[in-house]
Amino acid sequence: MSTPEVMHVERSNYLATVADLKNQGYEMCVDVVGVDYLTNPDRLLPEGVVAERFEVIANLLSISKRTRQRIRVQIPEDDPSIETLFFLYPGSEAMEREVYDLIGIRFLNHPDLTRILLPEGWEGHPLRKDYSMGAVPVQFKSVNKAV
């Protein structure tokens, strides 16, 4: 399998671009991930791509062509949202929920955008670079040893 091709697309063109790639034979959405670049705003991007705090990356696979395609989309901090891929690739549902849960990027028109790893009452998104590093108390069971 070859190294994936990488496309940087505008958020407004994301869904149309992925739909076009699906029509070209990319049968599978292998992964959808989110990245917080809060501490790396000056990262290297192609000319014309404006860096935003967040990025959504979708990895598509064409089994028939034996090729991969990576789609990278910049997501602004003041509106961390993007369209869902669920209606093109139903298997992306859980991956998008994980990105929402851990980074806080909303997937518009998602059928069930609820937390998947953390409890519903959890405050914040722990993979954000500005998430507070609080402590979780550990509870130990008492052990009665027979002497």
pLDDT in tens, the chain (147 residues): 567 799 999 999 999 999 999 999 999 999 999 999 999 999 999 999 999 999 999 999 999 999 999 999 999 999 999 999 999 999 999 999 999 999 999 999 999 999 999 998 899 999 999 998 766 666 666 666 665
pLDDT at 142: 67
CATH of the domain at 9: 3.30.460.80
Residue 132 falls within a domain, yes or no?
A: no
Range of the domain at 100: 5-40+48-108
Q: In whole angstroms, what is the distance from residue 30 CA to residue 70 CA? A: 10
Is residue 63 one of the residues assigned to a domain? yes
91 CB neighbour count, 10 Å cutoff? 12
Q: Which long-range contacts (CB under 8 A, 24 or more apart) does 70-74 make?
A: 70/4, 70/5, 70/6, 70/7, 71/7, 71/9, 71/14, 71/17, 71/18, 71/21, 72/6, 72/7, 72/8, 72/9, 73/8, 73/9, 73/10, 73/11, 73/14, 74/8, 74/11, 74/49, 74/50
Q: Does residue 102 belong to any structural domain of this protein?
A: yes
Residue 121 forms part of a structural domain: no
pLDDT of residue 143: 61
Q: State residue 133's pLDDT score.
A: 74
Q: Are the CB atoms for 11 and 74 separated by under 8 Å?
A: yes
| Predicted pLDDT of residue 90 | 96
pLDDT at 4: 79
pTM of the complete model: 0.87
Does the residue 120 lie in any domain? no
Q: Is residue 114 part of a domain?
A: no
Q: How many domains does the chain have?
A: 1
In a domain, 97, yes or no: yes
